[in-house]
Amino acid sequence: MSSADETAVAITGESGPMNGLKETAIRSVFFSCALVTVLTTLGIILVLVQGSIGFFQEVSIVEYVTGTDWSPVIRPRSFGVLPLIWGTLIITVGSALIAIPVGTATAIYLSEYADPQVRKVIKPTLEILAGIPTIVYGFFALSFITPIIQRFFPETGTFNAAAGAIVVGIMIIPMVSSLSEDAMSSVPDDLRNAAYGLGATKFEVSTSVVFPASLSGVIASYILALSRAIGETMAVTLAAGMHPQITGNLLEPIQTMTAYMVQIGISDVSVGSIGYQSLFAVGLTLFAMTLAMNLFSLWIKSRYREEYQ
């Protein structure tokens, strides 16, 4: 009887209503912090949609999405967003053509081939590459990449799509390689051993076992890198120029959606004018594109998730 009493005392201890109150308070603090990100996202969507409403009262959506001429400030005005989308597309596809092969090969090297010592040097270096401010990449493109292109193609302008695509490609390599390497490293060694045991070479193990087994993570890294390319702003503004046009010639300047937003953002268009409102419409378009990419990435991840025991 007495021992049971002691136990009862020991369990209740100092705890009381005050302790429960503290827990509740802590919980609310953490919850509010988490809420900030959600509210911010909702706020951004609200602002974009609200700002765009004014724009689409003046300009028909059909003209916006099918028009091939973009001149919202200078008369005669024209509001076809396709040249901006085209510019963004050129940069995205061009940079993907560079970053996906190079990034994937880097990831395979780091995960499957590199000595631990080599990996210890290369991985942080790649992460430094990812941390360089994008405006620095822009100057790198202007002062280094473009002169090289001009040496081969003298007619190349100071601002050109090729330099933009190349520099964004370089910029997103670390994203592809780092995330893909994480995915490849998490493939269990059991699978590698099984393949080696069957007489597979290292190259076969890497390409026909490790790569497919890590596919969901690898594809997710591609998509994240591409949404980064779509949203990339300063480097492309500096490297690729501010000339909205639909052209297949990569040596000519173009303008991406983001570069246009920079242009209007720093210009003296008056608040409430159609030029100002177009900022929100383009922003909304950009947001929709990156959102779609991120949702696609999530879907890929769940669709191709491999289950190991």
Partner 1 sequence: MTANNEPAEMTPNRRGPESVSTSEIDERRSASAAADDGPLGSPRVSSPVIESRDLDVFYGDTQALHGIEMEVPERQVTALIGPSGCGKSTFLRSINRMNDLIDVARVEGDLYFHGKNVYDDDVDPVALRRKIGMVFQKPNPFPKSIYDNVAYGLRVQGKDDGDVDEKVRTALEQAALLDEVEDQLDESGLDLSGGQQQRLCIARAIAPDPEVVLMDEPASALDPVATSKIEDLIDDLAEEYTVVIVTHSMQQAARISDKTAVFLTGGHLVEFDDTEKIFENPESQQVEDYITGKFG
Using CB under 8 A as the criterion, which residues of the chain lie in contact with partner 1 when the complex forms? 115, 188, 190-204, 208-209, 212-213, 306-309
Least Å distance, CB 120 to partner 1, is 14
Find the shortest distance in angstroms from Cβ 221 to partner 1: 18
Which residues touch 90 (CB under 8 Å, ≥6 apart)? Answer: 161, 164, 165, 250, 254
CB of 210 to partner 1, least distance (A): 10
Q: Which is nearer to partner 1, 121 or 295 (CB)?
A: 121
Q: Which is nearer to partner 1, 213 or 289 (CB)?
A: 213
CB of 257 to partner 1, least distance (A): 39
209 or 229: whose CB is closer to partner 1? 209
Of 153 and 203, nearer to partner 1 (C-beta) is: 203
Residues 6 or more apart whose CB falls under 8 angstroms from that of 283 comprise 48, 51, 52, 261
List Cβ neighbours of 122 (8 Å cut-off, separation of 6 or more).
106, 110, 114
Nearer to partner 1, 37 or 117 (CB): 117
Both tokens of residue 174?
């670390």
C-beta of 255: minimal distance to partner 1 in Å? 44
Smallest gap from residue 29 Cβ to partner 1 (A): 42
The contacts of residue 41 (CB under 8 Å, 6+ apart) are none
We find the least distance from the C-beta atom of residue 177 to partner 1, in angstroms, to be 21
Nearer to partner 1, 182 or 204 (CB): 204
C-beta of 121: minimal distance to partner 1 in Å?
17
Nearer to partner 1, 200 or 274 (CB): 200
Nearest residue (CB) to partner 1, 145 versus 195: 195
Nearest to 178 by CA among 248, 123, 217: 123
